Amino acid sequence: MSEPKNPENAVDVAGTGASELDRFPDPGMHEHKLRMADKDPKAAKRAEAQVVILFVISIVGTIGMLIAYFAIRPEGTTASVRNANLALGLGMFFALMGIGLAAVHWAKTLMSDHEKSEDRHAQRSADDVREAAVAVLKEGAADSGIARRPVLQGAVVTALALFPLTIVVPLISSVGGDWDISKFKHTIWKPGTRLAIDPTGRLIKASDLTIGSVVHVIPDVPAEERRSHHWIAEKAKAIVLLVRLDPAILKETEERKSWSYDGIVAYSKICTHVGCPVALYEQQTHHLLCPCHQSTFDVADGAKVVFGPAKRPLPQLPIMVDDEGYLVAQDDFDEPVGPSYWERLK
């Protein structure tokens, strides 16, 4: 057990007795220690009483839960639902926890704790058993005649090889059923689509917006389309944040001068980093924050990135005012919205 004092000896052990080294010496049983309850009948009695008390706690918990179920009914208010849940939960907690604690305490203090060992049997079967098994297999193969019936051989291999297609083909075709990535490049904004307020669908007039106003915008589509199955996917791409700024602080490039209307600008609400909805707007700094990774965009300056992991400005939706004074889109976004993907600029 102690470290060998003689280094030569150690080298000897390592060199000659490799197979012995692999074996871990059997440490044998630890010395059995008697517990309080084994030595002292009073302690045993005490432990028994503790186990009984734990079971009684469980019984009381069950009865309490049943009483609570009939006595405390949720009346429809938040507080009454909370109280009813709390009473039921506490009753169940004591009912089950009492049984669990009692069982563990019982086993630890009163049940026999004498260590017993049972040796494992060898994994390798005896030689005659192995030979008999091989003989049976060979006899079976010869009996089936597969070696001398090549057509049958081919048929069984083909059948087994083809069967997995019944799983693989539907799986692959439903995963990759739609390889049309052009849909990522467009949203349902079209020239003349009116801007509407999310979630009510009310239309927006330019005169409705005071400086500092923010509106969360969806394209104006018929109400029945907003209830349709594909709407949520279209909305997820098309959502827009509309802000009215003091025209004096708005910095605009020459080609985008006509994209805003009297200080009103509209930007895609989908972060160019990984696509979270960018919606935390600070009115005084005119910064727009993404809640996921704190990318910050300056709405007064083309929504360019001023902080955070996003690499591109938010796409701008060109807007104008129609004959009736409503805000409408001039066109779709001129670039794909949201995070980058391989074919983005192809």
Partner 1 sequence: MKALAARRHHRFTPVVLLLLALLVTGGLYAALAPTSASADTAATDDIAAGEKLFLANCATCHGVNAEGRDEVPSLIGVGSAAVNFQVGTGRMPMAMNGPQAEAKPAQFDAKQTSQLAAYVASLGPGPSTPTAEQVDPALGDPSMGAQIFRTNCAMCHNAVGAGGALSEGKFAPALTDTTPTHIYEAMLTGPQSMPVFNDATITPEEKRDVIAYLVEQREGSAGGLDLGGIGPVSEGLWIWIVGIGSLIGCAVWIGAKSS
Task: Compute the least distance from the CB of residue 315 to partner 1, in Å.
Answer: 19
List residues near partner 1 by CB under 8 A: 33, 35-37, 77-79, 81-82, 85-86, 89, 104, 108-109, 113, 197-200, 204-205, 207-216, 243, 277, 279-285, 287, 289, 291, 294, 296, 307
Chain center to CA of 116: 45
Pick 163 or 307: Cβ nearer partner 1: 307
Q: How far is the CB of 44 from partner 1 (least distance, A)?
A: 11
303 within 8 A of 279, measured Cβ to Cβ? no
Six token digits for residue 290: 């993404």
Nearer to partner 1, 308 or 331 (CB): 308
CB of 201 to partner 1, least distance (A): 12
Q: In terms of Cα–Cα distance, which of 118, 184, 132 is closest to 346?
A: 184
Beta carbon nearer to partner 1, 79 or 134: 79
273 versus 287: smaller Cβ distance to partner 1: 287
If phi over 0 gives left and psi between -120 and 50 gives alpha, with beta otherwise, what is residue 201?
A: left
Work out how close the CB of 95 gets to partner 1 at its nearest, in angstroms, rounded to a whole number.
17
Residue closer to partner 1, measured from CB, 97 or 320: 97
Instruction: Give the shortest CB-47-to-partner 1 separation in angstroms.
Output: 8
Tell me how far CA of residue 187 lies from CA of 75, 194, 220, 237, in angstroms.
47, 14, 13, 6
Measure Cα distances from 110 to 50, 102, 120 in Å. 11, 11, 29
What is the rounded radius of gyration, in angstroms, for the C-alpha atoms of the chain?
Answer: 38
